């Protein structure tokens, strides 16, 4: 007997006589020893070690990935030692725990993978993924549900209320490999559901109306009101252009003309010489008139069309933004916004 064979026989005997904790071996260590025994073609010992590793109560427990490896190697060891029924049982446990698992063909020979594929095709089960949290408007948003099947079969996906009554049927058809299903937050009457506890149930059907097994995911549905948008700030005057010509520039011509004209004409009142008085009045009048003409030429108070058009465009844009906010607030007030929290999946039915 080779040293390796003796070593694994002692390990196998130890796993039969003592619990794994008494041996000081954690499930993870047992898994490594089982794989070593498997690689040394000690399939009987390997199968016993894998069973020990898979027992409940081991500390620390196997991770999900380690458990999958243990089940796959257990099935392979059972098959290679001639125990086909035990191998099928291990593979079935593997498929039921993870319908998406596929063995590595570089590690396991075709003899193993063929039996696993047979189990895969005869075991009808699904894996379901739902976002842990989703906030949406009922009727327009969607809760996306991804379903993965072990093999083609009929499924029925429903939303059930706390009493177990059907709120909405989402899907009732054959699934081949995977499917994407959505729920808009509405019931069968196309109304938003009331806040409360619901559950998503995806059933693998053995016949119409008869479920073989199902996956249930609790859904906590709550209202999440939409806050109102703030109205746009009033249009600042600094953005507006003057719509009429100001009198300021014209006054710069009118006032000097009037002052100078007055200054020229005022001495004429006391002028005795009529000719000189007349000349002063004429000159003063001309200067004053020039100021008046200059003032009137600036057209004070008249509209500036291009500035009016610019301001009208700004005001129209502001009114549109106000109207958009009012419409959105009205929509938010009428909409039902749901906050959905998904719990941990539960598998119902086995075998």
DSSP assignment of 37-98: HHHTT-HHHHHHHHHHHHSTT-SSPPPHHHHHHHHHHHHHHHHHTT-HHHHHHHHHHHHHH-
Positions in the chain whose pLDDT score sits under 50: 8, 10, 12, 15-22, 250-251, 254, 264
Cα angle value 328/334/337 (rounded, 5°): 90
Q: What is the pLDDT of residue 276?
A: 57
Q: In terms of Cα–Cα distance, which of 24, 55, 48 is closest to 34?
A: 48
- What is residue 156's predicted lDDT score, i.e. its pLDDT? 97
Nearest to 111 by CA among 94, 90, 95, 87: 87
pLDDT score for 22:
39
Sheet harboring 143-149: ordered strands across?
Answer: 126-129, 143-149, 178-183
pLDDT at 240: 81
What is the length of the chain? 351
**pLDDT score, position 77:** 96
| Cα separation, 253 vs 123, whole angstroms | 102
Long-range contacts of 11-17 (CB under 8 A, 24+ apart): 11/37, 11/45, 11/49, 12/37, 12/42, 12/44, 12/45, 12/48, 12/49, 15/48, 15/49, 15/52, 16/48
Q: Do residues 183 and 197 touch, judged by C-beta distance below 8 A?
A: no
The pLDDT of residue 274 is 57
Place of tokens 């009493």: 163
pTM: 0.66
- pLDDT for 157 equals 97
């Amino acid at each position: 007997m080779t040293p390796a064979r003796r070593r694994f026989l002692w390990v196998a005997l130890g796993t039969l006589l003592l619990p794994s904790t008494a041996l000081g071996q954690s499930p993870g260590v047992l898994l490594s020893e089982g794989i070593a025994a498997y690689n040394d073609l000690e399939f009987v010992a390997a199968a016993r070690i894998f069973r020990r590793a898979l027992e409940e109560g081991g500390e620390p427990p196997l991770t999900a990935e380690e458990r999958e490896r243990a089940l796959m190697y257990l099935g392979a060891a059972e098959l290679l030692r001639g125990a086909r029924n035990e191998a099928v049982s291990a593979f079935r446990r593997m498929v039921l725990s993870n319908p998406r698992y596929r063995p590595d063909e570089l590690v396991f020979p075709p003899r193993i993978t063929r039996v696993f594929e047979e189990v895969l095709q005869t075991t009808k089960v699904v894996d379901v993924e739902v976002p842990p949290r989703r906030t949406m408007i009922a009727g327009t948003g969607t809760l996306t549900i991804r379903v993965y099947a072990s093999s083609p079969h009929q499924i029925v996906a429903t939303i059930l209320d706390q009493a177990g009554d059907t709120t909405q049927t989402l899907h009732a058809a054959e699934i081949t490999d995977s499917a994407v299903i959505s729920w808009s937050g509405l019931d069968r009457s196309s109304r938003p559901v009331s806040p409360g506890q619901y559950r998503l149930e995806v059933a693998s059907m053995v016949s119409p109306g008869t479920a073989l097994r199902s996956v249930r995911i609790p859904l906590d549905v709550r209202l999440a009101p939409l806050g109102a948008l703030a109205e746009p700030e009033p249009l600042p005057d600094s953005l507006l252009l003057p719509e009429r010509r100001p009198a300021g520039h014209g006054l710069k011509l009118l006032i000097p003309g009037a002052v100078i004209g007055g200054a020229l004409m005022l001495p004429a009142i006391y002028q005795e010489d009529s000719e000189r008085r007349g000349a002063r009045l004429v000159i003063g009048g001309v200067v004053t008139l020039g100021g008046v003409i200059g003032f009137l030429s600036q057209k004070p108070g008249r509209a500036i069309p291009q500035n009016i058009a610019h301001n009208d465009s700004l005001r129209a844009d502001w009114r549109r933004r106000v109207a958009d906010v009012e419409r959105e607030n009205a929509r938010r007030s009428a909409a039902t916004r749901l906050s959905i929290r998904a719990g941990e999946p539960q598998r119902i039915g086995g075998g």
